[in-house]
């Protein structure tokens, strides 16, 4: 059955039963790739299922039900693979990191990857090689150009003030102490500088 509900019947001594419905955790009809085609075939399958339950010995209805069920499963498989392939193409073409990680998160949450939906290894290799290669001026957007310019400016500023990051030498400390005025404070604290 497409809805994949399991009904357990516990018969008691009085002849009545308790019915418990356990629904499958993955509901296909709530998936993004589940469109109107899938919904229509699902409704048809449901109608045929009810017909088969009402007339269990009708061979024609049973064969029709099995045929539609087979078509329904193939359609679901096809829609899911098509949607996943589109997501992989989006992943390859993404330029922003948020879109990339959103698409990648969707792909990584899929339970089973069908052999038909695998991305060719060469395609993935080229994508990541392009991501990690030196930036080419032809495929950069304005924001990326601004970021690169800002990084270059920071590099030049850091190289100009690199001498400020050097540790103090003993000679520099001695020279600074000699430059202090006797019995004067260097700052707001009341400590007087006294040379010995």
pLDDT tens figures, 15-53: 444 444 444 445 666 677 888 888 899 999 999 989 888
In terms of residue numbers, what domain contains 43? 6-133
Q: Are residues 103 and 192 in the same domain?
A: no
Indicate the pTM of the whole model. Answer: 0.40
End-to-end CA distance of the chain: 97
Contact 65, 49 (CB under 8 A): yes
- Based on the fold, state whether residues 34 and 97 are members of the same structural domain: yes
In this structure, is residue 61 part of a structural domain?
Answer: yes
What three-state secondary structure class fits 151?
helix
């Amino acid at each position: 059955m497409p809805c994949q509900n399991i009904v357990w019947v516990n018969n008691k001594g009085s002849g009545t039963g308790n019915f418990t419905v356990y629904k499958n955790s993955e509901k296909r009809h709530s998936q993004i790739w589940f469109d109107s085609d899938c919904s229509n075939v699902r409704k048809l399958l449901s109608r045929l299922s009810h017909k088969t339950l009402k007339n269990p010995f009708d061979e024609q209805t049973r064969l029709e039900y099995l045929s539609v069920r087979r078509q329904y499963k193939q359609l679901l498989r096809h829609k899911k693979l098509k949607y996943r392939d589109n997501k992989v193409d989006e992943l390859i073409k993404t330029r922003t990191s948020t879109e990339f990680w959103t698409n990648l998160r969707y792909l990584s949450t899929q339970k089973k990857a069908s052999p038909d939906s695998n991305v060719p290894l060469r395609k993935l290799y080229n994508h990541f090689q392009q991501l990690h290669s030196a930036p080419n001026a032809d495929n950069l957007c304005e924001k990326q150009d601004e970021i690169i310019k800002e990084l270059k400016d920071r590099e030049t500023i850091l190289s100009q003030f690199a001498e400020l990051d050097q540790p103090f030498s003993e000679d520099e400390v001695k020279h600074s102490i000699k430059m202090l005025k006797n019995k004067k404070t260097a700052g707001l604290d009341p400590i007087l500088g006294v040379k010995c």
